[in-house]
């Protein structure tokens, strides 16, 4: 069997992210050394359908379990993660190229927090809700909303946070009572399989969580395999294809897509903090975060000082294999992604941009690229319009608050943004005028790590939300239960229609729809006459 379920044997072990059709395998490599890590099956459409079938069967029993029971499994899985932090970080680092230290702080720490949060809080977040239906209560009606699992959720994930992104969605879906089929990135299949292994050891029922390894064709097959929803994280181009395929199936999808996130630094900002934040925000994960700082706008008065400090901090960063604890910048995920970075820099340089720090590969042997600071850029360059997704920090200056907001919003993307100022009121005022799913004041990049807060973009950055209550609600079906506690009193608007009913309905139009209980109560005599009329 090509798909892996939590109760299957480990995968058989073949070209990094490239399908080998003859053997139907995917080869995973360490991008820092180009050494093969192992081979996994490339699942066919039939494999994926079978996985969805198993998941659907297992979900019935899971949905009947209490939140406490579901939470217990998630908390057991959390204990396993906690016991194995170093081994897990090594695997994440090896398959993605990022420093081990970063794997711990940017992938494992946030998910440990997320697992605890949803295991303990999902019950409260999904408690049935009574709805105030105003004047309808006078007619003896009540309404409430109950939240029911969707069924089987398909999760399709990227390589840049191969642990944190899928794991968060798996945990939320399991807590909501859903089963999951995960299609991890073809560049990081072993991390995906590891997530399944952890849940297997935590006692998750067989078949409830399945991992279908493979490339884009396996992902496309998952969208068409009969799932109830797709949670997709990846590029805009693939997101569009997923949304089109989901529309054909008439299933919903959440799309967490790319970004070109701006950082605005006002003259009154804490310059030292802002410079360090720009450097970490742009270069953490070798700049391969959807929320990386990809455009930095600095107020003219401090531009020289700020730029000098950014350049100094950047030059101090160490580019090395992720296994080295002193590495700040690991290998990029793959040659193809480094190629995008080099192309954006080449085009910008041709149009007059100047490299102030970095600019080269920095190290041989893997997909390394130096952290690079660039000035003399403008919005006609691909470097300022398209997602670069690499360790590049382009700097531009502005004169006024209005100009800064205009520059920040002049982008087809809208994932996150950050505003730096000591004047918090100004920061929050500017934040609310920026077109982005998340805007941080005096912070950068990290809020995907806060499980309580919603995550998602506007414009080309995506649709829907993950994390927080908004994210959990994406994984359930809201059902409205409406009850008439005075069934003996048949509705006034039922047949037969008469001249009197017309007169009453006219009164309804004026008084009932006013929303006022007093106005509605003035209708009571006419309503009683109508009841008697209907009984005749």
Binding region for ligand NAD (CB under 6 A): 156-161, 165, 183, 185-186, 215-216, 219-220, 223, 233-235, 238, 241-242, 256-259, 290, 387, 389, 415, 457, 462
User: Can you say how many angstroms the Cα of residue 43 is from the centroid of all Cα atoms in its chain?
Assistant: 24
In sequence order, the 6+-apart residues with CB closer than 8 A to the CB of 423 are 266, 268
Handedness of CA 245, 249, 250, 253 (dihedral sign): negative
DSSP string, 66-133: -HHHHHHHHHHHHHHHHHTHHHHHHHHHHHH---HHHIIIIIIHHHHHHHHHHHHHHHHHT--EEE--
User: Can you say how many angstroms the Cα of residue 449 is from the centroid of all Cα atoms in its chain?
Assistant: 11
Measured from the CB atom, is 333 or 421 closer to ligand NAD? 333
Distance CA 369, CA 388 (A): 13
* Torsion-angle region of 365 (φ positive above 0: left; ψ -120 to 50: alpha; else: beta): left
CB of 404 to ligand NAD, least distance (A): 23
| CA angle at 32 for the pair 26 and 35, rounded to the nearest 5° | 45
CB of 95 to ligand NAD, least distance (A): 13
CB of 534 to ligand NAD, least distance (A): 56
CB of 61 to ligand NAD, least distance (A): 29
Catalytic residue selected from 107, 256, 370, 386: 256
State the residue number with the nearest CB to ligand NAD.
219
The residues pairing with 479 across neighbouring beta strands, listed in sequence order, are: 146
Measured from the CB atom, is 178 or 256 closer to ligand NAD? 256
CB of 216 to ligand NAD, least distance (A): 3
The residues pairing with 440 across neighbouring beta strands, listed in sequence order, are: 418
Catalytic residue selected from 290, 334, 370, 474: 290
Nearest to 285 by CA among 93, 473, 117: 93
Q: What are the E-state strand segments in 266-310?
A: 293-299
CB of 294 to ligand NAD, least distance (A): 10
Q: Counting beta carbons within 10 angstroms of the beta carbon of residue 36, is it exposed (0 to 12), middle (13 to 18) or buried (19 or more)?
A: middle
To the query of whether residue 343 is one of the catalytic residues in this protein, the response is no
Measured from the CB atom, is 159 or 508 closer to ligand NAD? 159
| N- to C-terminal Cα separation, the chain | 69
Measured from the CB atom, is 54 or 467 closer to ligand NAD? 467
Measured from the CB atom, is 158 or 262 closer to ligand NAD? 158
Measured from the CB atom, is 170 or 356 closer to ligand NAD? 170
- Give catalytic residue positions: 256, 290
């Amino acid at each position: 069997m090509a798909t892996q379920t939590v109760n299957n044997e480990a995968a058989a072990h073949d070209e990094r992210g490239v399908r080998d059709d003859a053997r139907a395998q995917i080869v995973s490599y360490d991008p820092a050394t180009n050494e093969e890590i192992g081979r996994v099956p490339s699942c066919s459409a039939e494999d994926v359908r079978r996985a969805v079938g198993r998941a659907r069967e297992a979900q019935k029993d899971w949905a009947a379990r209490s939140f406490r029971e579901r939470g217990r499994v998630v908390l057991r899985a959390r204990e396993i993660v906690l016991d194995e932090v170093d081994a897990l970080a090594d695997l994440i680092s090896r398959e993605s190229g990022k420093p081990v230290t970063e794997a711990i702080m940017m992938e494992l720490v946030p998910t440990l927090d997320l697992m605890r949060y949803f295991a303990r809080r999902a019950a409260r977040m999904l408690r049935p809700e009574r709805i105030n239906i105003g004047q309808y209560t006078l007619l003896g009606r009540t309404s409430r909303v109950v939240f029911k699992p969707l069924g089987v959720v398909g999760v399709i994930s990227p390589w840049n946070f191969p642990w944190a992104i899928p794991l968060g969605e798996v945990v939320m879906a399991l807590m909501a009572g859903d089963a999951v089929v995960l299609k991890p990135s073809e560049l990081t299949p072993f991390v995906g399989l590891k997530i399944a292994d952890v849940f297997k050891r935590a006692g998750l029922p067989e078949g409830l969580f399945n991992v279908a390894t493979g490339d884009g064709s396996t992902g496309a097959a998952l969208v068409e395999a009969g799932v109830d929803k797709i949670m997709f994280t990846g590029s805009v181009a693939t997101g569009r294809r997923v949304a089109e395929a989901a529309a054909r199936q008439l299933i919903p999808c959440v799309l967490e897509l790319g970004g070109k996130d701006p950082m605005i630094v006002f003259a009154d900002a804490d310059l030292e903090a802002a410079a360090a934040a720009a450097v970490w925000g742009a270069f953490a994960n070798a700049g391969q975060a959807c929320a990386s700082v990809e455009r930095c706008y600095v107020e003219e008065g401090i531009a020289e000082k700020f730029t000098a400090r950014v350049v100094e901090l950047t030059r101090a960063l160490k580019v090395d294999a992720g296994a080295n604890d002193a590495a700040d910048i690991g290998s990029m995920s793959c040659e193809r992604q480094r190629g995008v970075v080099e192309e954006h820099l080449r085009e910008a340089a041709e149009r007059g941009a100047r490299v102030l720090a970095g600019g080269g590969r920095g190290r041989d042997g893997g997909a390394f690229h130096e952290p690079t600071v660039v000035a003399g850029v403008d919005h006609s360059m691909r470097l300022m319009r398209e997602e670069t997704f690499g360790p590049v920090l382009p700097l531009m200056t502005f004169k006024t608050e209005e100009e800064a907001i205009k520059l920040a919003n002049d982008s087809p993307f809208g994932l996150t943004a950050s505003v730096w100022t000591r004047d918090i009121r100004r920061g929050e005022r500017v934040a609310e005028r920026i077109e982005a799913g998340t805007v941080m004041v005096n912070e950068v990049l990290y809020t995907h790590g806060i499980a309580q807060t919603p995550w998602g973009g506007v414009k080309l950055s995506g649709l829907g939300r993950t994390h927080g209550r908004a994210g959990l609600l994406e994984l359930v079906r809201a059902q409205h239960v409406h009850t008439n506690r005075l069934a003996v009193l048949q509705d006034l608007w039922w047949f037969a229609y008469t001249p009197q009913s017309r007169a009453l309905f006219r009164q309804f139009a004026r008084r009932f729809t006013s929303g006022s209980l007093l106005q509605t109560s003035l209708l009571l005599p006419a309503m009683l006459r109508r009841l008697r009329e209907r009984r005749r």
